[in-house]
Structure 1
């Protein structure tokens, strides 16, 4: 069965929009974009159904952007990736509802610790994306930009006394940090086994 990306790229080849030797590249890009949009949309729908839309939006923005720029753990199969991703997201939404209201100062401390751990280790290679020295510089710069954007949002949440927003940010960062360190450990084992 042909993927959506494959069908789209073949259509563009037949119409002369793209050259035939670029068909596989475009197929991969179209499939990636389709899966990215579908996954994030499904997270937002799940957040809406569970009455946690704001938390879902925070997660999609923080975890999605950090994962794209900083790398992290990568499952071996698409199915295991879906299962792990949706399980983590559902756990995230569950934790948002059961964690009692915490002091904003504690949440800010958790935020700082998370970002320090992320800035120290990122970027982390995945089997599909090995960073060369130039890629690492670009990724580190992207992570620092995300840190600045995220810090502005966090400061605003703090000033507006939006503790649930701070908790959503912290949990999203904890998930990203765990993914980075798990990916790092997985890579270390992979390189040692070679």
Structure 2
């Protein structure tokens, strides 16, 4: 992936689209977007292979906005990021394929409650790459709560349509976002001790 990013950056710099003083931030954004495309593609391919496309799409619609607003733990390497993302999607696929509809209703309620509690108590959690000043913390706090409210609305609509497995996928997005918050706090403290 580094070779691809290097060649894109070289082209952007030589054609004058990016100045030298902007190169580092543009490179970071480019790397981030390429990783998002790769992870999303891998998730969709896995979902199609295992016949869980609707659940994957619901998860992918709810999880990224929540994570970008709430923050939390971020893997230190691309490989670790990919593995964590695929582990989350694997659990969504497994739940949508293996969990009985009635059980998924209770699981969704428990996961949503746990994730929402973490979001309410802890969000937003900054990372090494995204530290907050006081104003940003207030803005992201508000965004986190709005994103959580939107996810609640999505879950409520899915419940009304008795789409329990899809509701579980949305609840898992809230849950995974929620558990990334204390993990991020721990990771930040651990990093500060070094």
TM-score, scaled to structure 2: 0.86
Q: C-alpha distance in 1, partners of 2:32/2:3?
A: 11
1:90 and 2:90 correspond = yes
Q: C-alpha distance in 2, partners of 1:31/1:147?
A: 27
Q: C-alpha distance in 2, partners of 1:108/1:2?
A: 42
Number of aligned pairs? Answer: 193
1:21 and 2:21 correspond = yes
Instruction: Write out aligned runs for 1:32-71 (5 A).
Output: 32-71=32-71
CA RMSD of aligned residues (A): 2.3
Contact 1:121 1:180 in 2 (8 A): yes
Unaligned runs of 5+ in 2: none
Q: C-alpha distance in 1, partners of 2:3/2:144?
A: 32
Q: C-alpha distance in 1, partners of 2:179/2:25?
A: 31
Q: C-alpha distance in 2, partners of 1:105/1:19?
A: 53
1:144 and 2:173 correspond = no
2:116 matched residue in structure 1: 115
Contact 1:74 1:81 in 2 (8 A): yes
Higher relative contact order (CA 8 A, sep 6+): 2
| Closer, same or farther: CA 3–70 of 1 in aligned 2, 3 Å | farther
Q: C-alpha distance in 2, partners of 1:180/1:67?
A: 9
1:74 matched residue in structure 2: 74
Q: C-alpha distance in 2, partners of 1:96/1:184?
A: 30
Unaligned runs of 5+ in 1: none
| Closer, same or farther: CA 9–169 of 1 in aligned 2, 3 Å | same
What SS does structure 2 have at the residue aligned with 1:4? helix
